[in-house]
Amino acid sequence: MGFHATVLTLYPEMFPGHLGGSLAGRALTRGDATVEAVNIRDHATGKHRNVDDTPAGGGAGMVLRPDVLARAIDAVCPEDDVRPRILMSPRGRPLTQARVRELAAGPGAVIVCGRFEGVDQRVIEARNLEEISIGDYVLSGGEPAALILLDAVIRVLPGVMGNADSGAHESFETGLLEHPHYTRPQVFEGREIPPVLTSGNHKAVAEWRQAQALQLTRNRRPDLIDRDRNPKD
């Protein structure tokens, strides 16, 4: 049985989105992964089937109701379902390649897409939702974030990438950003491929790529190097 994701959303029509194409699309077609979108509103009650209400204490916007979301979660994720329950949230822990790999090694995930001003804290605690962020910015909802998370997970499932080594040396897999890439033509607008890459010396190529990756990381993402030196932080 492959990776099975259940996405709880107010906009199920947004799925599978771009996951229907390229590597992820082929994985879905083969059954390596499945993505099921469930409408949270289907679990609302009352004449108007409201899913949100005004924030306690006042303020702008609306908050997703805990009772409605809890019913939706319980309907798709019974107690014996061991899949992690994830809430896409800008205040969550940053998504890392290590967490992507962990998810890919498991049976799937239940992913909640937040909307409005957020989700009632009580349902986050009561249903043990793991809050994950894809970056330091705010989206109109959790759906694009969920698609990004699923894209990252599906592409590293066994057999999805034709060459297993393709993902082994990418950015974040080794703790560094990836080295620069080059291909033909040998000269492009006066810029040549670095001679070491056409030297045939595999050891020199490997050393050059490692040095380039380290320099790029120092320049663009020094936090990755600091995190590696202080893994407990």
Cα–Cα distance, 64 to 177 (Å, whole number)? 37
Give the N- to C-terminal CA distance of the chain in Å, as an integer: 36
Domain spans in the chain, listed from the N-terminal domain onward: 3-155, 169-229
Helix (H) or strand (E) holding 194: none
Model pTM greater than 0.85? yes
Give φ, ψ of 166 to 5 degrees.
-60, -35
**What pLDDT, in 10s, does the model give residues 201-225?**
999 999 999 999 999 999 999 999 8
For residues 66 and 120, is the Cβ–Cβ distance under 8 A? yes
CATH of domain 169-229: 1.10.1270.20
The residue written with tokens 């190529």 in the block is 205
The predicted pLDDT at position 163 comes to: 58
CATH class of 3-155: alpha beta
Instruction: Summarize pLDDT for 31-73 with one digit per residue, the tens.
Output: 999 999 999 999 999 999 999 999 999 999 999 999 999 999 9
